[in-house]
Amino acid sequence: MTDHIFMGGGGDAYGAPQVLLLDKANRHGLVAGATGTGKTVTLQIMAEGFSAAGVPVFLSDVKGDLSGLAVAGSADFKLHEPFMKRAGTIGLDLQYDSFPVTFWDLFGQQGHPIRATVAEMGPLLLSRLMELTDVQEGVLNVAFRVADEEGLPLLDLKDLRALLVWVGQNAKDLSLRYGNVALSSIGAIQRQLLVLENQGGDALFGEPALELADMMRKRDGRGEINILAADQLMGSPRLYATFLLWLLSELFEELPEVGNPDKPKLVFFFDEAHLLFDDAPKALVDKVEQVARLIRSKGVGVYFVTQNPGDIPDDVLGQLGNRVQHALRAFTAKDRKELKTAAETYRDNPSFDTATAIQEVGTGEAVTSFLDPKGIPKIVERTLIRPPSSQLGPIDGPTRNAIMQASDMAGKYDQTVDRDSAFEMLRKRADAAAKAAEEAEAAEALLEEKEREFKAARRYEGGRTSSRRSGGSSGSGFGGALASVVAKELKGTTGRRLVRGILGSLFKGR
């Protein structure tokens, strides 16, 4: 079993091998470069290398090109000859091969459905997803606290909607406990939930929720490559970024500490990483930095893929030890400044100027720097990236469907399970309260009817003697007065209090 991934040849003649050490792979990494410079192929060969070493991989297929990992390359491929020539240049004996792949899709069309519950997502990420203000995020936090206290599971969006309605109905009491709960904020959250549903976000939330163990499988000694179909998902970039961050956070929270393993337990590629940080609040950036800093001790390597290193905040960028920098273009003053900044993040190589090399490298070339056995970044090298062993480009629909049907994930997540949760529990309580209110109203009507009968009986006794009327007043007259008071109270404040007490208890029981 090899202890590294061969990335390509480096140096002037591309002969010196450039390798990513497996025991340093959980120190994270960066793959950057302008569109069309070869980032996708770099992702492909890194996924191949990790899988061959028995390391599961998760990556998102933004352009639909990475599905070719499931099929071996072929001599019939039009780039076969250039690939063989490149392999000869860097001293690689290229053997075509396929790799174990599982396809996932939030929308369940190009892969197995993948879901999370609203409770797992949490108020911070949901607020980011819906672009809520600080005040609205505070109200959402109150709603989640109430759900915990009342034992109301939040599984899908209709659960959250029902809970927000209850919070609005009880806003006055909740404001005394948690601070102001404005109805306008609840209305704004409900509107954003509607926008999220229209973007297809409701497909993300529900059960059965993803089990992380299903992302960390091996097959015949090779790590499973989990490919998220993201071409349609990219139409909702905030949903895409929030989902990936949720998955990363779940890994961070659930996996045990393993220290410094010989190889990662999982490698996570975050493509189009700039979407995560665009207009992100500081609290979210701080969370990403915390995850990046600590998750490596749990055996997870995170590799951010973006066009420009400047898309990544400095505190996060400083955590990325293994780097592959494809070409950057410098057409404007801003571009030149970003190019200079990117070059300054590498250890200088006396053989060439790093900034110039970043501009000059062609498609399939890169400047690279990987960690050495001591964990120190090596000097930057111009590297000819190795060709992939699997098919370059997407597979066809029938092949994808056949792979999905043969997968051991087939059928596990296909059908949505809608068990009793906040929506159903609140509806049952509302039904019970409505029934109690109807019974109270019927009792009130019965008392009114008895009062009318009593009054009618008194009018019938009008012809009796005065002594008997007097005796009747001291007995039946008192009872009639009491009945009158009870009926009046049921019609008035006491009656309303009774009904309100029933509705108040509507959400206090479980």
User: Among residues 368, 264, 304, 214, which one has the least CA distance to residue 53?
Assistant: 264
How confident is the model at residue 503, as a pLDDT? Answer: 33
- Report the alpha-carbon distance of residue 388 to residue 397 in Å, rounded: 22
DSSP 395: P
- 442 falls in which pLDDT band (50, 70, 90)? confident
Q: What is the pLDDT of residues 198-212, one digit of tens each?
A: 888 888 899 999 999
Token pair recorded at residue 465: 């003697």
Q: Which residues contact 438 (CB under 8 A, 6 or more apart)?
A: none
Nearest to 320 by CA among 337, 340, 295: 295
Count the neighbouring beta carbons within 10 Å of the beta carbon of residue 97: 16
Q: Are 292 and 249 in contact (CB under 8 A)?
A: no
What b/e readout covers 267-302, taking b as 16+ CB neighbours within 10 angstroms? bbbbbbbbbbbeebeeebeebbbebbeebbebbbbb
Binning pLDDT at 50, 70 and 90, where does residue 496 land? very low
Q: What is the mean pLDDT of residues 68-81?
A: 90
CA 454 to chain centre: 68
Q: Average pLDDT for residues 223-252, to the nearest whole number?
A: 90
Tell me the one-letter amino acid at 4: H
Give the percent of the chain with pLDDT over 70: 89
pLDDT(502) > 70: no
Rg (CA), the chain: 33
* Cβ partners under 8 Å of residue 364, min gap 6: 38, 41, 86, 384, 385
Distance CA 87, CA 80 (A): 10
Tell whether the torsion through CA atoms of 172, 178, 180 and 186 is positive or negative. negative
Average pLDDT in the chain: 86
Q: Determine what percent of the chain is predicted with pLDDT higher than 90.
A: 57
pTM here is: 0.83
Residue 272 tokens read as 């189009």
Q: What is the pLDDT of residue 460?
A: 57
Q: Can you read off the two tokens belonging to residue 1?
A: 């079993």
Asked whether the predicted pLDDT for residue 161 surpasses 80, the reply is yes
Pairing of strands 4-10, 381-385: antiparallel
First to last CA, the chain: 56
Tell me, rounded to whole angstroms, the distance of Cα 181 from its chain centroid.
Answer: 26
**Cα-based distances in Å from 137 to 145, 169, 288, 450:** 12, 18, 19, 54
d(CA 100, CA 367): 30
